[in-house]
Structure 1
Amino acid sequence: MNQLSTRTSPDTPWRLASLALAMLLSSLGTSIANVALPTLAREFAASFQAVQWVVLAYLLAVTTALVVVGRLGDQFGRRRLMLAGIGVFVLGSALAAASGSLAWLMAARVVQGLGAAVMMALSMALVGDAVPKSQSGRAMGLLGTMSAVGTALGPSLGGGLVAAFGWPAIFLATAALGLVAFAFAARHLPADARTAAPASFDLPGAALLASALAAYALAMTLPHGTPGTLRLALLLLSLVLAGAFFAVEVRSPAPLLRFALFREPGIGAGFAMAALVNVVAMTTLVVGPFHLARALGLAPAAVGLVMTAGPAVAALLGVPAGRAVDRFGSRRVLRLGLASMAAGCVGFAALPFSLGVPAYVLPLVLTTAGFAIFQAANNTAVVTAVAPERRGLVSALLTLARNLGLVTGASAMGAVFLAATGAASLAAADAAAIAKGTHVAFAVGGLLVAIAFAMTLAPVRAAAAVQGERA
């Protein structure tokens, strides 16, 4: 047994700081470039649809690589792959800062995204190696906090850097932070355990899965105005590739992914709940700006201020939620988080927009607080439920479920919102129509949270029947 699972090492705080910095860096890379898009459009004389690919290239690279890097970490060592991933992220950041064309910048963002995929996939997996099992909840809570901080900090930090030094500064800043993260990880992360020679890597399965995920993520992130036939074709392609991946895996002697994993108590449900909950989380980011600006008539600065309440609450509650998981168990805390999210969705769906900003902020606080609590509990429950040699893959799958929930929520809940307004376009919708769209979108979100809550009941009964566990 790994001593770190039962006893605190003097180096534990530094190990946890290394993982927290890696998580901060990967989430910062997601959000810091958005604010520079208008500047990039002007600098490269490109359309807004073209410069959007600076963001999409990073997102697609992360989504397609997660499972592959998680499996590689389990086979070849999570510490050494984490160091390689941070190095790739730094390289991508430096290439982005030196870009002389939009195409070069997008290619650099793909490199940066591949490095970020490693950090996202392995940060949670390394918790089991870096901290005692009794502290895994608070460690997961800290990682959730750092993810929220990175997401919230990106726009403001990026805006300040662009205004003061120009757009390359945002990538130079992430490169510098990446060097700090590399130094911390190299100094403090525990060495990889010696294992037998790894099995051969399932290259055909990896290629098929990455292609299927890329096709799906691309379909979900295509800009508005893209022909619907293209989106449908990409979705059909993703289904065909997913079917081919399944056929390859069931015949492979060393598959990338064993599907029996999803039948283990709490594992499959944990992935599904993560996807559903992140659809709802994305709804606050997609619908919120339109509701605040169009239904409530707030100025852009005020919209931004109100929107920061969500990440701020999530950041503040991450560590306390993790401590609650360590003390009361993940199951109870998981249900508390989902109950809070459900209450927030009911508030969004039921409170009249005539009540103004408070009628939006209160549900937002409930929803994001519940999201932070859920994340700490679900991440801990899923990642600590598997053997150490599978933590990289499981952490990657959990992060993949989160990302797929986010990209699906951006597309699907945006479509629900627009349809509920009854207008041909959001530009043509009045305040009442926008408010109606908000109510309907979050009513659907509340239904998704209710489904997730129902999933917490089945694993309890299954575990109790087999092991006599206490519900």
Structure 2
Amino acid sequence: MSVRSRWLIISVGLGILLNPLNSSMIAVAITRLQAVYQLDFTVVSWIIFSFYIASAVAQPVMGKASDLFGRRKLFLAGLVVAFAASMLAPLSPSFGWLIVFRIMQSIGTSMMVAVGMAIVRIHVTEKQASALSVLSIFLSGAAAIGPFIGGVLLHWWDWPAIFLVNIPFTAASFLFAWRNIPKDKPASSLARSMSLRSWLHLIDASGILLFTVGLVGLLIAVLAAKSSGHVSTGHAALGLLGLVSLAAFARHEWRAASPFIPLRTFVKYPAMTWINIEFILVNILYYSLFFGLPAYLQTVRHVSEFHTGMLMLSLGLCSLVASPIAGRWIDKAGPRPALLTAGILMTLGSIWIMTFNQASPVISVILALAAFGISNGLNSVGMQAALFNSSPREMIGVASGVFMTSRYFGTILSSLLLGIIMGDKLSANGFQRLGAVLTVIALSLVILNWLRKQSGQSEPKAVDK
């Protein structure tokens, strides 16, 4: 690999790591933000919701936008947006403004993730697989060490440092990207002549609007009703608006020529659909622990932010170690044994959570984290392999996009689950109830994988319509 290619990979890697880093650092700051803004856990959980909803919408949109405006320009613009959001967030006069800047940060970092892989694919022609694997390390490594970095920053400074730490990353990445990412080719005549209306049709702006309004409306209604302890007329009306918007979204996506989420694909390829359902459940399990455990440790066990970050590091490290081992295992035996093992580990970890109390030794926390970390490594590789096995070759691009949407949807649902179970105040009993719910979900995954293994289902089969 040439020196120029290496610098290009580093330039892109420094940018794309900002999305997983910022999505994971916040895990140890939720309790601190709850105290600073005097809010209950349900409201503070919007710091998680907002980031993942914005990422779920922004990444596919920005991927399409790069074809029109240029990948280099979009990457650099994403760095500017992320830089501005990181500067402004610590100055937020209220929690509402912090959410605004958090969404802005999510959009900026999503712009880089959406085009980063494509930039490397286009401009690094030698040892391309190795180049892409290095970018995967940037992504997974940032997610793994995020809680540890967040814990250190909170210990020595305060929550604004979680945003300010992005500034040197964005500045360095901008300089590297400006120097090393080749300039975009002149836009095609079709791109230059495309009107705003045509571009909005291309990205399915109507579908995105219906999806966002429906999801946000439903989440606000459910969480507000849970927080107040009763369902008011306003809650019911907002929930109904959300359901109507989601129903309109489904109807629109079924007819759209360029849908935001291709519903027809789910119907036509049921094997691929089941993989995405499993992936949603996997992410509900993993991120419920990822965001719930730090809050439990700090609120119930009174563990410092620094030591919480240290404990959470074991989750990320186990995941990183398990991923390459999973790759070799899956190459030999296929994805199902690894996925079945991951389901069993998550079941054991969830049962272990049900036993947690204030007297539980630290080793019990580490064991639960290790079980979830190893299972995450197995699932990350195994689910991707199962997706490719269940998707026809001509659908791989679409399938990968839907797969990422499933990840975000699972993460959003994990935050909703935490808000419903934890309510206004986190408690040991609430965390044990979370363990019970996670046990049911994990057992469901084990049963699904066992049944699919017995049936031998792997190749994609289209359903004629």
> TM-score band (shorter)?
0.7 to 0.9
1:280 is displaced (CA, Å) by 0.5
Matched residue type, 1:180: A
Q: Which residue, out of 202, 206, 209, partners 1:207?
A: 209
Q: Does 1:48 align with 2:51?
A: no
Q: Which residue of 1 aligns with 2:78?
A: 85
Q: Which residue of 2 aligns with 1:300?
A: 303
For 1:34-433, list aligned pairs within 5 A: 46-49=37-40, 57-73=50-66, 77-99=70-92, 104-123=97-116, 128-129=121-122, 132-133=128-129, 136=132, 139-162=135-158, 168-189=160-181, 197=190, 200-201=198-199, 202=201, 203-218=205-220, 225-226=227-228, 227-229=230-232, 233-262=237-266, 263-264=268-269, 267-285=272-290, 288=293, 298-301=301-304, 305=307, 308-315=310-317, 317-318=319-320, 321-322=323-324, 325=327, 328-329=330-331, 332=334, 335-349=337-351, 356-379=361-384, 382=387, 391=397, 396-412=401-417, 415=420
1:371 is displaced (CA, Å) by 0.5
Note closer, same or farther for the CA distance 1:125–1:366 as it changes in structure 2 (3 Å cut): farther
Note closer, same or farther for the CA distance 1:86–1:212 as it changes in structure 2 (3 Å cut): farther
**Unaligned regions of 5+ residues in structure 1, if any?**
1-7, 419-423, 467-471
What's the TM-score, normalizing by structure 1? Answer: 0.73
Matched residue type, 2:17: L
Aligned-partner Cα distance in 2 for 1:81–1:459: 45
Query: Do the aligned partners of 1:161 and 1:169 also contact (CA within 8 Å) in 2?
Result: yes
Count of aligned positions: 440
**Partner deviation per Cα, 1:162-206 (whole Å, 9 max, x = no partner):** 2xxxx6554333233212223334444566677783583323223
Q: Which residue, out of 7, 10, 17, partners 2:10?
A: 17
Note closer, same or farther for the CA distance 1:107–1:340 as it changes in structure 2 (3 Å cut): closer
Note closer, same or farther for the CA distance 1:332–1:205 as it changes in structure 2 (3 Å cut): same
What's the TM-score, normalizing by structure 2? Answer: 0.73
Q: Does 1:443 align with 2:435?
A: no
1:108 is displaced (CA, Å) by 2.8
Aligned-partner Cα distance in 2 for 1:435–1:168: 28
Aligned-partner Cα distance in 2 for 1:138–1:448: 34
Aligned-partner Cα distance in 2 for 1:135–1:456: 34
Query: Do the aligned partners of 1:348 and 1:359 also contact (CA within 8 Å) in 2?
Result: no
After alignment, is 58-67 or 190-199 more displaced? 190-199
Identity across the alignment (%): 23
After alignment, is 247-256 or 31-40 more displaced? 31-40
Query: Do the aligned partners of 2:18 and 2:166 also contact (CA within 8 Å) in 1?
Result: yes
Aligned-partner Cα distance in 1 for 2:181–2:396: 18
Matched residue type, 1:174: N
RMSD: 4.6
Query: Do the aligned partners of 2:271 and 2:458 also contact (CA within 8 Å) in 1?
Result: no
